[in-house]
Amino acid sequence: MAGILETVKDFMIPFHDYPKINESATLEEAVNIMYRMAREKGYRWLVVLDEGGAIKGFLTLRNVFEAISELAPKAGGWLGVFTYNRPGFFYWEGVQLIKNTPIRKLIKPIVDVSVHETDSPVKAAEIIINRRITILPIMDDQNNIAGIVRPVDLLPFIVNLFDNTPGSAG
Amino acid sequence: MAGGKTVKNFMVSFADYPCINQNESLERAVNILCALAGEKGYRWLTALDDEGNISGFLTLRMVLESISNINSKPGKWLGFLGGACHGPSGGAGLEHIKNAPVKKYMRPLTQISVRETDSPVQAAEIIINCRISILPVRDKRNKIVGIVRPVDILPFINDLFNDAPVNPPPGTKEESFLGRLAWPTPGCSPVTA
């Protein structure tokens, strides 16, 4: 039953379960991990850590696309870089430039909003909507990141909410 | 190997994509979304009109916004849902939302699309330039046959990176500056038949 007793902790993905990558890793390494994690667990973002292990930001699929889009014009645009129609030096150089780019240049900095793990899922949903973000950090009592919540994680909460509303068909 | 592949190789076939009639309730849509998000990782529903044509898409964000829209002031969710939903006004509001038709909250279909024979690169550029996350794919008869999302293009990029040679291919040389000029970039203008 959805209600005041459920906290965002009941819906979050624990931080230790989330895929992470060092900020010095290349875009190629990040894409490899994202590809594997998207297939295995449906995760579509990576948590990016600095050399000290602290969270530096997130790398989303859109970040990857935008990075390629920004880098590609230097070597002829997406179409010029990512086709085998031009398998010469141009193609080789363009792909190397993009895949070897360190992800520290591409990440979305961690947002300055978060919720506490004892907060309501409703509060998390409000922040996601109002700030137009898709990854919301969840903090514990020590102010460490305990987990992450995304819109898809809140779906079961909404289902329960509808189920427990008077007049429900279900 | 990524070379030579088209959007058709990466799209989710329309036949496989979860659909719902636009007149069905938001509650039913949320139940389907919840089941399919866990099973298949789908996070949108395709809404159909009574003739079976695509009329729009219902995303997770729209579901959250639909509930959020019940009251336009910040903090509305907390008062509305945070346990207060069991009161008369909260329950009535929620009931209204969950029984509302999908068409009230969906994003209507636009004319932005790609052909199934287009390059995945073209789909990626449209997704970025138009800031969309669901791109319809049309066949040569202009019928929507599938949908492509950023996550569907990820294998293409992964293959391209993996297949790229570490060293320049033998016998190649750097092209002139003219060879580096950008090719025409697909924009957000509608693709017409």
**Residue of B18, B27, B24 whose CA lies nearest to B46:** B18
The per-residue pLDDT for range A4-27, each reduced to its tens digit, is 578 999 999 998 888 999 999 999
Q: How far apart are CA A147 and CA B57, in angstroms?
A: 29
In degrees and rounded to multiples of 5, residue B47 shows phi and psi of: -95, 135
Higher local confidence (pLDDT), A159 or B86? A159
pLDDT of residue A75: 47
Domain architecture of chain A: domains with CATH = 8-163 (3.10.580.10)
Q: How far apart are CA A105 and CA A90, in angstroms?
A: 23
**Contact by Cβ (8 Å): A68, A61:** no
**Contact by Cβ (8 Å): A124, A151:** no
Interface of A with B in 87-126 (CB under 8 A): 87-90, 92-93, 95-96, 99, 120, 122-123, 125-126
* Global confidence as pTM: 0.76
pLDDT of residue B36: 87
pLDDT of residue A44: 86
ipTM at complex level = 0.77
Contact A78 B185 (CB under 8 A): yes
The per-residue pLDDT for range A100-155, each reduced to its tens digit, is 899 998 887 777 889 999 999 988 998 998 888 888 999 999 988 899 999 999 99
Starting at the edge strand found earlier in the chain, the sheet holding A20-22 runs: A20-22, A45-49, A55-60, A108-109
pLDDT of residue B38: 76
**Residue of B35, B50, B47 whose CA lies nearest to B102:** B47
DSSP-derived secondary structure letter, A112: S
List, in sequence order, every beta strand (DSSP E) within A23-167. Answer: 45-49, 55-60, 108-109, 115-116, 136-139, 145-149
Stretches in chain B below the pLDDT threshold 70? 1-3, 69-92, 164-193
pLDDT of residue B8: 96
Write out chain B residues lying below 8 Å of A155, CB-based. 30, 33-34, 37, 60, 63
What's the average model confidence in pLDDT over A46-72? Answer: 86
The per-residue pLDDT for range A28-54, each reduced to its tens digit, is 999 999 999 988 888 888 999 999 888
| N-to-C CA span, chain B | 31
**Contact by Cβ (8 Å): A143, B72:** no
Domain architecture of chain B: domains with CATH = 7-74+94-163 (3.10.580.10)
**Residue of A170, A131, A161, A148 whose CA lies nearest to A20:** A148
Tokens (6 digits) for B12: 């989710």
Q: How far apart are CA A139 and CA A8, in angstroms?
A: 10
**Contact by Cβ (8 Å): A57, A48:** yes
Q: What type of residue is B146? A: G
Higher local confidence (pLDDT), A3 or A125? A125
Chain B touched by A64 (CB under 8 Å): yes
pLDDT of residue A165: 74
B33, B161, B185 ranked by CB distance to A31: nearest? B161
